[in-house]
C-alpha cells in the first residue's frame, strides 16, 4: 500500500483496530509492507489523526466518509478480447445517468437496456460521472473519491460488467470524469497534500493545484486516473467536465500531458482511445494536436449548436439564448461550428471565441439538442417534448443526426420522453443541503426563468427523493403510438447517418441555404429540407430532387423538380438527382 502525503510527519495504515506505521519514500510517498487481501477494509491516518479513505481508493462500500476496500481489478474475466474499439469521431453517442436510466438505478440494470440502444443504432454510450459521491442519489459532479465507482450503482465490479456487456453488443463506452473540482462533502484530499491552491479560483472555490512547484504529483493523480479507467476498465473514451476550469499556467497544460499519455496507451493496447472536452472557450486549439501546439483533445462539446437550435424552435431568448434564435444563426453553427467566434457575446459581455479553421474535421465537435445540463439546469428540468410539437422534435433530431458534427442523444429523447431530468443531491449535512436548496432557488431567480414559467415557479427540492423519482425514465412510453413513431424516426435517422455523404466531417461537404422559417442543409449529394413554420411552405433545393430517403410527415410532402412542398413543422431527406 502506498499513499502520497508530502507534509506528513507520520502515516499509519489502519485496518480494523490495527494501526501500522508506514515508511517514508522519496517524493513525499509512504509505503506499508503489509499486503492486504482483496476485499479488506483499510484507511490511512496522518500524524495520528482520524482514519481517512485512500485518495486512490477503487472501492468505497461504506460511502465516501468510510474506510476504503481493496479491489482486485484483474479478477474480472473479460470477454471482449475481440473488441477492436471505436473512436468517438462520428459515433452516435448516447448520454445517460445510471441512477435514473432504469427504475433500479444500477449498472447491472442498465445492461438489460443495452439492446434498446443496439436497436436504435447507438455506437457509444456516455455515462454521467460514476466516481463515488456523498449519499445515494446525485448527478455525480460532486464526486470526491475519483478512483472509486459509486457503490449504489454497483461498485467497480459492476462497471467492468457493464463495459464488457456493451462491448459484446458492439457499443463503445465513454465515461464522464471531473477533474476541475471535488464536491464539498467527503473531500479529504487536502488532508494529504497540496491538491488545491489559492493562487487560482473557480466557481467551486480554490482551484486544483496544476501549476505550482509542488503540483507534479497532483497532475499525476489526474493523468493516472484517466489512464486507469481506459486500461483497467476497458473504457473507450473520457468526457472531461468543464476543462476551462482547469487553470494551468505551466509551460505544458495538463490536458496536453493527458492527451499524450492517452495516445501512448492507445498504441499499447491497440485500440482507439478518445478524449472529449467540455469547453466554454470556443477555441479549436482544444482539438488541435499537441505536436501542433494544441491541447490534443479528440473532440469537444459544442453548446452553440444546441443554443442556436433550441432558441429557434422554442422561441426562448432568456439568459444565454439572447444572441441566438434566427435561422441564419443556426446555419452558422452548422457550417462554422461556433456562433461566437470572435464576436461580441451579450451574455458574457465581451468578445468571445475564435473561428474554426475550415480544414478542421467537423466530427471533432459533439452536437446535441438535449443533454444533462441543458435539460437539468432548467428551473423545472423539463424537456423540449413538453413544449414542442412532434414535428419540431423530428426537426431537431434531423439537424443533430444529419449535420456535420458528432451527434449525441440524451437518454429518452429518442421517443420524446416526457419525464423531466431535474437536479438532485443527497447531502447528509443539514447546512449543506439547505445551501444547495437556496443556491438553486437563487440561480433561477435570474436568467429570465420566472418570465418563462411564470412568477409563481417552484423549483423542485434537490434533496427530495421525489425529485429523483420524477427524473427516472418511464420505459412504458416507447410503446405508446406517438412515442413509438418518434422512436422509429430516430432509428431511421441513425441509419441514414451511415451514408458516406452524411458521415463526412469535411467542411466543404456541408452547405446551408435559408429562407423565412426554412432551412436546406446540403450534405454532399443529400439534402435535408426543413420547414420550421407551422404552416406549409415551398423550399428550393438548388438541384433536382431524386429519391426521398425519409420524411417525418410523408403525406405533407410533394416534390416538384428542384423544389419540395412541406407541411408545417416537417422535415424531409432527399437524395439529389
What are 465-516's pLDDT values in tens digits? 999 999 999 999 999 999 999 999 999 999 999 999 999 999 999 999 999 9
Average pLDDT over residues 345-373: 97
In a domain, 197, yes or no: no
How confident is the model over 453-468, as pLDDT tens digits? 776 778 899 999 999 9
Residue 147 pLDDT > 90: yes
What local confidence, expressed as pLDDT, does residue 560 receive? Answer: 96
How far is C-alpha 482 from the geometric centre of its chain's CA atoms? 28
At residue 14, φ and ψ (nearest 5 deg) are -110, 120
In a domain, 60, yes or no: no
Average pLDDT over residues 145-149: 98
Residues 277 and 275: their CA atoms lie apart, in Å, by: 6
User: What CATH number did the domain enclosing 537 receive?
Assistant: 2.60.40.1180
How confident is the model over 388-436, as pLDDT tens digits? 999 999 999 999 999 999 999 999 999 999 999 999 999 999 999 999 9
307 is in an annotated binding site: yes
Residue 363, CA atoms < 13 Å, CB-side half-sphere: 17
361 is in an annotated binding site: no
Picking from 66, 202, 50, 51, the residue whose alpha carbon sits closest to that of residue 141 is 202
In a domain, 8, yes or no: yes
Report the catalytic residues.
241, 278
Contact between residue 411 and residue 420 where contact means Cβ atoms under 8 Å apart: no
What local confidence, expressed as pLDDT, does residue 500 receive? Answer: 96
At residue 500, φ and ψ (nearest 5 deg) are -55, -40
State how many domains the chain has: 2
In a domain, 536, yes or no: yes
304 is in an annotated binding site: yes
Q: Which helix (H) or strand (E) holds 367?
A: strand 365-367
What local confidence, expressed as pLDDT, does residue 442 receive? Answer: 77
Contact between residue 51 and residue 45 where contact means Cβ atoms under 8 Å apart: yes
Residue 104 pLDDT > 90: yes
C-alpha cell, 146: 475519483
How confident is the model over 244-294, as pLDDT tens digits? 999 999 999 999 999 999 999 999 999 999 999 999 999 999 999 999 999
306 is in an annotated binding site: yes
In a domain, 132, yes or no: no
Q: What share of the chain has pLDDT > 90, as a percent?
A: 94
In a domain, 76, yes or no: no
C-alpha cell, 222: 489526474
How confident is the model over 207-252, as pLDDT tens digits? 999 999 999 999 999 999 999 999 999 999 999 999 999 999 999 9
With the C-alpha atoms ordered 307, 495, 167, 418, is the resulting torsion angle positive or negative? positive
Contact between residue 115 and residue 127 where contact means Cβ atoms under 8 Å apart: no
Which domain, by its residues, includes 520? 510-576
In a domain, 560, yes or no: yes
How far is C-alpha 451 from the geometric centre of its chain's CA atoms? 29
In a domain, 375, yes or no: no
240 is in an annotated binding site: yes
244 is in an annotated binding site: yes
User: What CATH number did the domain enclosing 6 receive?
Assistant: 2.60.40.10
374 is in an annotated binding site: yes
56 is in an annotated binding site: no
Average pLDDT over residues 43-54: 98
Residue 387 pLDDT > 90: yes
Confidence band (pLDDT; 50, 70, 90) for 447?
low
Structural domain ending residue among the three candidates 15, 30, 52: 52
Amino acid at each position: 500500500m502506498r499513499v502520497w502525503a508530502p507534509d506528513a510527519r507520520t502515516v499509519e495504515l489502519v485496518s480494523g483496530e490495527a494501526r501500522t506505521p508506514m515508511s517514508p519514500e522519496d517524493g513525499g510517498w509512504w509505503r506499508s509492507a503489509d499486503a492486504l487481501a482483496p476485499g479488506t477494509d483499510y484507511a490511512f491516518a496522518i500524524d495520528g489523526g482520524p482514519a481517512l479513505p485512500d485518495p486512490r481508493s477503487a472501492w468505497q462500500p461504506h460511502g465516501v466518509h468510510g474506510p476504503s476496500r481493496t479491489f482486485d481489478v484483474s479478477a474480472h474475466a473479460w470477454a471482449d478480447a475481440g473488441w477492436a474499439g471505436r473512436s468517438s469521431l462520428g459515433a452516435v453517442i448516447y448520454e445517460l445517468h445510471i441512477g435514473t436510466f432504469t427504475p433500479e438505478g444500477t449498472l447491472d440494470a442498465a445492461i438489460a437496456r443495452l439492446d434498446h440502444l443496439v436497436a436504435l443504432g447507438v455506437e457509444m454510450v456516455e455515462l454521467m460521472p460514476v466516481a463515488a459521491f456523498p449519499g445515494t442519489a446525485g448527478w455525480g459532479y460532486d464526486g470526491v473519491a475519483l478512483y472509486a465507482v459509486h457503490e449504489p450503482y454497483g461498485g467497480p465490479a459492476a462497471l467492468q460488467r457493464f463495459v464488457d456487456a456493451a462491448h459484446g453488443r458492439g457499443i463503445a463506452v465513454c465515461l464522464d470524469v471531473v477533474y476541475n473540482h471535488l464536491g464539498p462533502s467527503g473531500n479529504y484530499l487536502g488532508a494529504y497534500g497540496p491538491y488545491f491552491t489559492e493562487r487560482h479560483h473557480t466557481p467551486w472555490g480554490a482551484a486544483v493545484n496544476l501549476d505550482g512547484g509542488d503540483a507534479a504529483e497532483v497532475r499525476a493523480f489526474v493523468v493516472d486516473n484517466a489512464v486507469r479507467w481506459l486500461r483497467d476498465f476497458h473504457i473507450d473514451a473520457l468526457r472531461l467536465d468543464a476543462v476551462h476550469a482547469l487553470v494551468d499556467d505551466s509551460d505544458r497544460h495538463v490536458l496536453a500531458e493527458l492527451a499524450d499519455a492517452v495516445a501512448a496507451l492507445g498504441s499499447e493496447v491497440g485500440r482507439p482511445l478518445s478524449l472529449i472536452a467540455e469547453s466554454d472557450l470556443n477555441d479549436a486549439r482544444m482539438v488541435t494536436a499537441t505536436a501542433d501546439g494544441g491541447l490534443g483533445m479528440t473532440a469537444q462539446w459544442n453548446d452553440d449548436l444546441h443554443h442556436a437550435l433550441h432558441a429557434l424552435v422554442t422561441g426562448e431568448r432568456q439568459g444565454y439564448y439572447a444572441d441566438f434564435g434566427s435561422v441564419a444563426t443556426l446555419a452558422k453553427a452548422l457550417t462554422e461550428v461556433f456562433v461566437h467566434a470572435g464576436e461580441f457575446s451579450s451574455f458574457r459581455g465581451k468578445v468571445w471565441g475564435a473561428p474554426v479553421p475550415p480544414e478542421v474535421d467537423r466530427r471533432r465537435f459533439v452536437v446535441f439538442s438535449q443533454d444533462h445540463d441543458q435539460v437539468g439546469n432548467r428551473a423545472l428540468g423539463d424537456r423540449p417534448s413538453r413544449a414542442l410539437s412532434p414535428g419540431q422534435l423530428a426537426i431537431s433530431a434531423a439537424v443533430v443526426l444529419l449535420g456535420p458534427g458528432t451527434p449525441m442523444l440524451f437518454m429518452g429523447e429518442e421517443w420524446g420522453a416526457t419525464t423531466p431530468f431535474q437536479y438532485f443531491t443527497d447531502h447528509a449535512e443539514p447546512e449543506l443541503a439547505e445551501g444547495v436548496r437556496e443556491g438553486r432557488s437563487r440561480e433561477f431567480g435570474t436568467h429570465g426563468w420566472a418570465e418563462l414559467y411564470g412568477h409563481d415557479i417552484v423549483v423542485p427540492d434537490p434533496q427530495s427523493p421525489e425529485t429523483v423519482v420524477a427524473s427516472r425514465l418511464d420505459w412504458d412510453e416507447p410503446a405508446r403510438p406517438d412515442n413509438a413513431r418518434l422512436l422509429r424516426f430516430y432509428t431511421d435517422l441513425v441509419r441514414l447517418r451511415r451514408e458516406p455523404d452524411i458521415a463526412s466531417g469535411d467542411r466543404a461537404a456541408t452547405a446551408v441555404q435559408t429562407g423565412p422559417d426554412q432551412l436546406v442543409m446540403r450534405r454532399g449529394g443529400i439534402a435535408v429540407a426543413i420547414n420550421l413554420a407551422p404552416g406549409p411552405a415551398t423550399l428550393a433545393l438548388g438541384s433536382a430532387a431524386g429519391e426521398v430517403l425519409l420524411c417525418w410527415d410523408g403525406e405533407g410532402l410533394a416534390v416538384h423538380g428542384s423544389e419540395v412542398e412541406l407541411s408545417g413543422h416537417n422535415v424531409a431527406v432527399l437524395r439529389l438527382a
